[in-house]
């Protein structure tokens, strides 16, 4: 085992992940280190793609590094060694038909197996033997060996049921002993049969090989020898091909390990319902509902560490050490893309070059070293490291707490300059008080349930926790009188300090609970607000579609009305059609007017889905009041409410005028610059007005130009039922005179 492998094993044991790693390794096709070489981001993409599909599981294959080294030396591999390579080739052929998506499909398709290797795959059966049907000589030998075994079995069966041997037989079965078919007999058997004793049973009986089948055994030995010669010839030829493709074999052996890493992780995640967390570039550790795999019924851990040092204080047996191990475990599992239980959408784990765990007590007779001296040795090694995350449990263990607090305060400050991140647990408040004012230190308190007098295994950020040593002693059976005497010795002033710490922790916890409640309510309000906005948009779209539908129906109805009037003229019909046109135009004018009226102070407005009042306008911004709340918003986002104030038009001073009353229709209409459809509609409405007002002669001014409008007007007038005659005005003025 290499030095790195020993370190990894030590970290796994210190973090209580050995059972978890053992479970994971059951999903591997062959034994290998947990770490994967290469780009972790690329590995993550392949694992995510593999998680979305079903795939055939790989077969168990031994490590083939030794066999690859022998191939380089042109050695002849055994049949089982060759079949291990064949298993790998066959598996990649199977994967090509697995229906993968990118990037898996490009990777698998890029592994092209040479034709010579593909041919070798066909030599083998699923059991790993040479297929006799591909070699007539081998096929003949296989049949001969099979027949010889039948002959041996039949001969022994006859002997077992012969009358001369009946008195010496223990039973009539054929026993396999040392690979030989034998009979089990009692002593004195040599009086009736010649045989060789193969072995003796624990009861004193003999396993014998009758001489009558010795020639059959010799024949079997000869047949097997001939078969081995053929098998060796195959092994020699295949090994020669392997030597030719030695580089390809090394390549595909590594790719098999790579896919094995991926598939084992995917299977493990599916079996345990775990999630993968890709390490981020930041040095933040944010865990949401994390569960350490070593704990059977864990209390989910939710913690956010975004500073270089986390100092965990508080109740004895309250989960401080498990919090430390949980955070380091999350870093370890994320570093090697091992899945674990958490809320993946809200969990973030930074990437660290190495993980150090200063957890165990180094003092022992074997080490011949004190606890504190051992701690100093471990800390001394850290000064040669960079970009590491270090977990230290009970940092002041083994020496005076006040002196240790000052020493560790300085060492932690110096080590973090090398990019080191620390998670430290302690019972002593001296170190916490020294480091509390540092902006790069995160204080964490393990909480205690005062009513039930038990730890809650939950944590509060931003506080120093009380150790609850006296309460813990009582909980584990120390007499109350002893505990009370200890409190007196401890001193009232220190106990008052503990009470202040406890009170501040309680206030902090209450404040955070209230903040959490407010956040929940705010999210509900935001959700309702978004729902109302969506409803407003839906209603606007519904209104737009309804208006479009009505517009289409109106146009269709007026078109039919015009067609009906052409077929049968009606003065009343013409009048009603004109009224419909006028009402439509008036409605459009009202809508346009409402949109064009500028907003002013005091107007009733609508801001998004809220109703309010406009208090003032300043540039492009407006001050409004909505539900008793003043706010400044962009003026462009305000709309006038439906109760639009009446627009007062200043009236001119009345003057006495003498005029002649005229009808409501004009005697001429201009079509200049109009498109064809617009011109015909205008002429139709113009003639309708003229007929309703009993005009006898009108003029249509269409201009000269290219003559397109004049032709359209002429075609239309020819079909109109109420036209007596029409003609061009002399002088080519572009005017058509119509007599009604």
Q: What is the pLDDT of residue 655?
A: 43
Of 91-105, 193-207, 373-387, 489-503, the one with minimum mean pLDDT is: 489-503
Q: How confident is the model at residue 407 (pLDDT cuts 50, 70, 90)?
A: confident
Q: What is the pLDDT of residue 675?
A: 76
Can you give the CATH number for the domain in which 638 is found?
Answer: 2.30.30.30
pLDDT surpasses 80 at 730: no
pLDDT in tens, 520-558: 888 888 888 888 888 888 888 888 888 878 777 777 777
637, 607 contact by CB (below 8 A): yes
pLDDT surpasses 50 at 453: yes
Same domain, 12 and 98: yes
Is 592 contained in some domain?
A: no
Pairing mode, strands 604-607 and 638-640? antiparallel
416, 309 contact by CB (below 8 A): yes
Same domain, 623 and 733: no
**C-alpha of 373 from chain center:** 46
Same domain, 256 and 205: no
pLDDT surpasses 70 at 582: no
DSSP 96: T
Is 547 contained in some domain?
A: no
The residues that bridge with 187 in the sheet, in sequence order, are none
Q: What is the pLDDT of residue 643?
A: 55
Grouping H, G, I as helix, E, B as strand and the rest as coil, residue 639 is strand
- d(Cα 710, Cα 734) in Å, to the nearest integer? 8
Is 149 contained in some domain?
A: no
Task: Please list, in sequence order, all residues whose beta carbon lies within 8 angstroms of the beta carbon of residue 17, skipping any fewer than 6 positions away.
Answer: 293, 294, 329, 332, 333
334, 277 contact by CB (below 8 A): yes
Average pLDDT rounded to a whole number, residues 66-94: 94
Is 66 contained in some domain?
A: yes
- d(Cα 583, Cα 454) in Å, to the nearest integer? 81
- Who has greater pLDDT, 272 or 426? 272
Among 731, 521, 184, 236, smallest CA distance to 513 is for: 521
**C-alpha of 602 from chain center:** 52
- Who has greater pLDDT, 678 or 324? 324
Same domain, 259 and 289: no
Q: Computed from CA positions of residues 678, 681, 684, 685, in that sequence, does the dihedral angle turn out positive or negative? A: negative
Same domain, 357 and 332: yes
pLDDT surpasses 60 at 662: no
Can you give the CATH number for the domain in which 302 is found?
Answer: 3.40.50.300
Q: What is the pLDDT of residue 735?
A: 85
Q: What is the pLDDT of residue 230?
A: 92
Is 537 contained in some domain?
A: no
Same domain, 314 and 460: yes
322, 444 contact by CB (below 8 A): no
Average pLDDT rounded to a whole number, residues 325-336: 94
Instruction: Tell which of 490, 523, 546 closes a domain.
Output: 490
Neighbours of 726 (CB within 10 A): 18
Is 502 contained in some domain?
A: no
Same domain, 433 and 484: yes
Grouping H, G, I as helix, E, B as strand and the rest as coil, residue 315 is coil
Average pLDDT, the chain: 81
pLDDT surpasses 80 at 432: no
Q: How confident is the model at residue 240 (pLDDT cuts 50, 70, 90)?
A: very high
Q: What is the pLDDT of residue 619?
A: 80
DSSP 657: -
Grouping H, G, I as helix, E, B as strand and the rest as coil, residue 331 is helix
Q: What is the dihedral of CA 86, 90, 95, 97, to 10 degrees?
A: 160
Is 148 contained in some domain?
A: no
Among 681, 651, 652, smallest CA distance to 669 is for: 681
pLDDT surpasses 70 at 505: no
Same domain, 481 and 360: yes
What percentage of residues in the chain have a pLDDT greater than 90? 30
What percentage of residues in the chain have a pLDDT greater than 70? 80
Q: How confident is the model at residue 452 (pLDDT cuts 50, 70, 90)?
A: low
Grouping H, G, I as helix, E, B as strand and the rest as coil, residue 650 is coil
First-last CA distance in the chain: 114
pLDDT surpasses 70 at 500: no
Instruction: Tell which of 490, 508, 540 closes a domain.
Output: 490
Q: How confident is the model at residue 316 (pLDDT cuts 50, 70, 90)?
A: low
Average pLDDT rounded to a whole number, residues 434-454: 73
Of 221-230, 495-504, 620-629, 677-686, the one with minimum mean pLDDT is: 495-504
Helix 214-244, helix 246-272: angle, nearest 10 = 100
Q: What is the pLDDT of residue 502?
A: 52
- d(Cα 575, Cα 579) in Å, to the nearest integer? 6
Q: What are phi and psi of 609, to 5 degrees?
A: -105, 10
Task: Please list, in sequence order, all residues whose beta carbon lies within 8 angstroms of the beta carbon of residue 584, skipping any fewer than 6 positions away.
Answer: 554
Of 1-10, 120-129, 240-249, the one with minimum mean pLDDT is: 1-10
Average pLDDT rounded to a whole number, residues 692-698: 81
Pairing mode, strands 441-449 and 454-461? antiparallel
608: left (phi over 0), alpha (psi -120 to 50) or beta: left
Average pLDDT rounded to a whole number, residues 725-734: 78
- d(Cα 224, Cα 144) in Å, to the nearest integer? 10
Same domain, 370 and 325: yes
- d(Cα 690, Cα 665) in Å, to the nearest integer? 6
Task: Give me 65's structure tokens.
Answer: 């590094």
Is 146 contained in some domain?
A: no
Q: How confident is the model at residue 228 (pLDDT cuts 50, 70, 90)?
A: very high
- Of these ranges, 63-77, 145-159, 204-218, 524-538, the one predicted with the greatest mean pLDDT is 63-77
Q: How confident is the model at residue 706 (pLDDT cuts 50, 70, 90)?
A: low
CA distances from 219 to 137, 183, 210, 228, 232 (A): 17, 20, 15, 14, 20
Same domain, 386 and 341: yes
- Who has greater pLDDT, 258 or 380? 258
Pairing mode, strands 421-425 and 309-314? parallel
Instruction: Tell which of 580, 607, 642 closes a domain.
Output: 642
Q: What is the pLDDT of residue 74?
A: 93
Can you give the CATH number for the domain in which 722 is found?
Answer: 3.30.1370.110
Grouping H, G, I as helix, E, B as strand and the rest as coil, residue 53 is coil
Same domain, 259 and 291: no
Task: Please list, in sequence order, all residues whose beta carbon lies within 8 angstroms of the beta carbon of residue 468, skipping any fewer than 6 positions away.
Answer: 314, 315, 316, 318, 448
Task: Give me 93's structure tokens.
Answer: 């052929």
Q: What is the pLDDT of residue 286?
A: 93
Same domain, 347 and 433: yes
Average pLDDT rounded to a whole number, residues 592-608: 73
Q: What is the pLDDT of residue 654?
A: 43
pLDDT surpasses 50 at 653: no
pLDDT in tens, 620-641: 888 888 877 778 888 888 888 7
Average pLDDT rounded to a whole number, residues 587-600: 60
DSSP line for 234-292: HHHHHHHHHHHTHHHHHHHHHHHHHHHHHHHHHHHHHHHT-B--PPBSS--EEEEEEB-
| Tally of structural domains, the chain | 5
Q: How confident is the model at residue 157 (pLDDT cuts 50, 70, 90)?
A: confident
Task: Please list, in sequence order, all residues whose beta carbon lies within 8 angstroms of the beta carbon of residue 277, skipping any fewer than 6 positions away.
Answer: 330, 333, 334, 340, 342, 344, 347, 348, 349
Q: How confident is the model at residue 479 (pLDDT cuts 50, 70, 90)?
A: confident
pLDDT surpasses 50 at 661: no
Range of the domain at 162: 154-223
Q: What is the pLDDT of residue 657?
A: 41
Of 47-61, 381-395, 577-591, 622-636, the one with minimum mean pLDDT is: 577-591
């Amino acid at each position: 085992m290499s030095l790195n492998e020993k370190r990894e094993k030590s970290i796994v044991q210190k973090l209580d992940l050995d059972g978890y790693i053992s479970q994971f390794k059951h999903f591997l096709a062959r034994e290998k280190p947990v770490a994967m070489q290469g780009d972790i981001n690329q590995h993550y993409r392949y694992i995510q793609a593999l998680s979305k599909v079903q795939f055939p599981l790989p077969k168990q294959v031994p490590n083939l590094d030794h066999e690859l080294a022998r191939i380089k030396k042109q050695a002849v591999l055994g049949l089982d060694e060759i079949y291990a390579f064949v298993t790998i080739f066959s598996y990649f052929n199977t994967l090509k038909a697995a229906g993968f998506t990118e990037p898996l499909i490009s990777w698998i398709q890029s592994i092209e197996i040479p034709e010579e290797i593909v041919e070798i795959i066909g030599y083998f059966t699923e059991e790993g033997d040479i297929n006799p049907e591909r070699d007539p000589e081998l096929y003949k030998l296989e049949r001969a060996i099979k027949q010889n075994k039948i002959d041996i079995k039949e001969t022994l069966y006859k002997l077992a049921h012969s009358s001369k041997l009946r008195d010496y037989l223990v039973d009539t079965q054929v026993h396999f002993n040392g690979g030989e078919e034998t009979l089990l007999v009692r002593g004195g058997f040599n009086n009736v049969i010649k045989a060789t004793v193969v072995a003796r049973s624990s009861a004193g009986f003999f396993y014998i090989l009758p001489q009558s089948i010795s020639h059959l055994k010799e024949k079997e030995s000869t047949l097997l020898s001939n078969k081995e010669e053929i098998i060796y010839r195959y092994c020699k030829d295949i090994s020669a091909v392997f030597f030719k493709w030695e580089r390809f074999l090394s390549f595909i052996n590594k790719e098999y390990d790579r896919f094995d890493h991926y598939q084992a992780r995917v299977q493990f995640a599916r079996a345990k319902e775990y999630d993968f967390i890709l390490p981020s570039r930041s040095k933040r550790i944010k865990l949401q509902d994390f569960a350490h795999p070593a704990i059977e019924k864990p209390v989910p851990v939710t913690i956010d560490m975004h500073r270089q040092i986390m100092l965990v204080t508080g109740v004895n047996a309250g989960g401080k050490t498990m919090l430390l191990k949980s955070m380091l475990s999350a870093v370890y599992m994320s570093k090697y893309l091992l899945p674990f239980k958490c809320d993946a959408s809200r969990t973030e784990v930074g990437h660290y070059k190495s993980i150090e765990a200063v957890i165990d007590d180094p003092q022992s007779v074997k080490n011949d070293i004190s606890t504190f001296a051992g701690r100093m040795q471990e800390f001394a090694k850290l000064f040669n490291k960079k970009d590491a995350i270090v977990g230290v449990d009970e940092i002041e263990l083994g020496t005076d707490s006040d002196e240790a607090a000052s020493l560790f305060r300085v060492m932690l400050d110096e080590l973090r300059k090398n990019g080191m991140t620390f998670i430290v647990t302690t019972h002593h408040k001296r170190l916490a008080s020294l480091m509390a004012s540092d902006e790069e230190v995160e204080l964490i308190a393990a909480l205690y349930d005062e009513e039930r007098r038990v730890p809650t295994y939950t944590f509060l950020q931003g506080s120093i926790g009380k150790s609850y040593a006296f309460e813990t002693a009582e909980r584990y059976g120390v007499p109350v009188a002893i505990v009370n005497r200890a409190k007196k010795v401890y001193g009232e002033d220190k106990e008052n300090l503990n009470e202040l710490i406890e009170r501040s922790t309680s206030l902090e916890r209450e404040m955070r609970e209230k903040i959490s409640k407010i956040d929940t309510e705010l999210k509900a309000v935001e959700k309702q607000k978004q729902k109302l906005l969506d409803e407003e948009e839906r209603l606007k779209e519904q209104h737009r579609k309804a208006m479009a539908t009505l517009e289409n129906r109106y146009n269709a109805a007026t078109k039919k009305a015009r067609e009906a009037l052409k077929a049968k003229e009606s003065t009343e019909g013409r009048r009603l059609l004109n009224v419909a046109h006028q009402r439509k135009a008036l409605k459009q004018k009202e809508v346009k007017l409402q949109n064009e009226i500028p907003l002013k102070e005091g107007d009733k407005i609508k801001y998004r889905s809220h109703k309010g009042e406009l208090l003032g306008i300043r540039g492009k911004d407006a001050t409004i009041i909505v539900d008793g709340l003043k706010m400044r918003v962009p003026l462009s986002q305000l709309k006038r409410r439906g109760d639009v104030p009446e627009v007062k038009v200043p009236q001119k001073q009345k003057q006495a005028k003498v005029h002649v009353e005229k009808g409501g229709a004009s005697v001429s209409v201009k079509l200049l610059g109009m498109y064809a459809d617009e011109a015909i509609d205008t002429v139709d409405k113009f003639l309708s007005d003229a007929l309703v007002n009993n005009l006898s002669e009108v003029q249509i001014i269409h201009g000269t130009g290219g003559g397109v409008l004049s032709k359209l007007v002429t075609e239309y007038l020819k079909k109109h039922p109420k036209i007596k005659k029409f003609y061009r005005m002399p002088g080519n003025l572009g005017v058509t005179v119509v007599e009604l």
